[in-house]
Structure 1
Amino acid sequence: MIGVLAIQGAFREHVAALRDAGAAACEVRTVAELAAVDALVIPGGESTTMRMGLERAGLTGPLRARLVAGMPALGTCAGLVVLARLGAPDVAPPPLGLLDVTVARNGFGRQPFSFETAVEVSQGVSGRVSDAGVVASTAQTSHDETDIVVVAAGDQAVASTTTMHGVFIRAPRIESVGAGVEVIGRIAAGTHSGEPVIVRQGLLVGCTFHPELTADRSLHRYFVRLVEAAIVAAPDPAIDSDTMTTRQEAPHGWA
């Protein structure tokens, strides 16, 4: 079961997107609900309000403990800010500080500067995985969406790129990434071409835009596959609590 933090933001849209991607999904508002899920999506919204909501609900400590223990998480837009290791020094309460990226809130500008653009994804294998576990020749789903494949540990990965649509609404900007952070998506063209917008560190994934606001479910499918791989590796994945990087890399790739 994948939970979606339902304090603020487009949590209903995330639940629908996860279900479209084949996962069981539910809303999470309490410590008991958090304890019942295998992974969590932290949606967009207003990051300070969201962090204050976590504090009021008594969720900050339990959530951080679950993440340090190896629970997969996807943070989108403000959710990325919540996960970030470093934030603006005047922002309180502080972010969870687990994803080793420096982010600037509203880094592309405020509401009038919101935009939509193509995001180039570069990681793993482009295509679909058959029941036998081999990569099929097609790179499109039945809905003509690009599929991003999870590659099992030890399998050979073929470098590839593909694109997905990104909706950037008062989006944070990734200013720097730590040594253990993998950039898997960048803005494809235009003024902000090359900017990192999707990152992954172990079982933590963050993106600066709103994948739930489009019909493209590729990022949600990717996260679902990552969660499935983490469950297979349970109950005790080797997690470095300082870097949140798996010592034995989890299966990954666009799915």
Structure 2
Amino acid sequence: MAKRVGVLAFQGGVREHADMLRGLGCEVTLVKKASQLDEIDGIVLPGGESSTMDRILRRFDMRDQLAEKLQEGLPVLGTCAGLIMLAHHLEDPAPGQETLDVLDIDVRRNAFGPQRDSAVERIETTFGVVEAAFIRAPEVVRVGESIEVIARVDGRVVGVSAPTALGISFHPELTGDSTIHEQFLALV
């Protein structure tokens, strides 16, 4: 039976993640309601604007349910804004911005510069070399004891993992590199 994976579908790289997951044999649910969280085996929090995603989750009364599911062990992959949402603490939150407090990490938003500084690089991860797009990417500035660093760029932490979560600063779904998604599916 195929794994049913949700993609939080309010904004950001929803289609790219859904296409990649389908290509890896998953059934994909575009998650827009809290009730859908009970129908999935794992979830992707895509890139986009983290403060906007936070406001939408609260407006649609999904934030607490999503945080609870993730803290109970629902496998999750957070890319870019998704990584920001998974953090315990943000160094530079937008006014009123909250996180889901899933990973024991601190994150700084837009650490790799503005959108015009976006770049595609091949980076070394614990899973092998990954072709990664960095777009206004965040940086992990503190890693808790329960967190494994899976990727660095110039000494800066851009990928972390925990038993049921992967968080990355970059966008492999935009380059077509399925390495990280395959590792995520191993958690599901």
- SS of equivalent to 1:81: helix
**Alignment of 1:199 onto 2:153:** no
Alpha-carbon shift at residue 201 of structure 1 (Å): 1.4
Alignment map for 1:1-255 (pairs within 5 Å): 1-88=4-91, 90-91=93-94, 92-122=96-126, 148=127, 162-187=128-153, 193-227=154-188
What is the total number of aligned residue pairs between the two structures?
184
- SS of equivalent to 2:176: coil
Alpha-carbon shift at residue 90 of structure 1 (Å): 4.5
The gaps in structure 2 that reach 5 residues or longer are none
Q: Does the 8 A contact of 1:20 with 1:217 survive in 2?
A: no
Q: Does the 8 A contact of 1:198 with 1:206 survive in 2?
A: yes
For 2:18 and 2:30, locate their aligned partners in 1 and report how far apart those are by CA, in whole Å. 7
Deviates more, 1:16-25 or 1:55-64: 16-25
Deviates more, 1:6-15 or 1:93-102: 93-102
Q: Does the 8 A contact of 1:83 with 1:95 survive in 2?
A: yes
Alpha-carbon shift at residue 89 of structure 1 (Å): 5.5
For 2:125 and 2:93, locate their aligned partners in 1 and report how far apart those are by CA, in whole Å. 33
**Aligned residue identity for 1:106:** N
The gaps in structure 1 that reach 5 residues or longer are 123-147, 149-161, 188-192, 228-255
- SS of equivalent to 1:179: coil
**Counting strand residues as a fraction of each chain, which structure ranks higher?**
2
What RMSD in Å do the two structures reach over aligned CA positions?
Answer: 1.2
Alpha-carbon shift at residue 14 of structure 1 (Å): 0.3
Q: Does the 8 A contact of 1:197 with 1:208 survive in 2?
A: yes
Q: Does the 8 A contact of 1:40 with 1:73 survive in 2?
A: yes
- SS of equivalent to 2:73: coil
TM-score by length of 2: 0.93
Q: Does the 8 A contact of 2:7 with 2:43 survive in 1?
A: yes
1:245 match: none
- SS of equivalent to 1:222: helix
Alpha-carbon shift at residue 111 of structure 1 (Å): 1.0
For 1:18 and 1:194, locate their aligned partners in 2 and report how far apart those are by CA, in whole Å. 30
Counting aligned pairs with the same residue, the percent is 41
Structure 1: which 4+ aligned runs deviate by more than 3 Å?
Answer: none
- SS of equivalent to 2:101: coil
TM-score by length of 1: 0.69
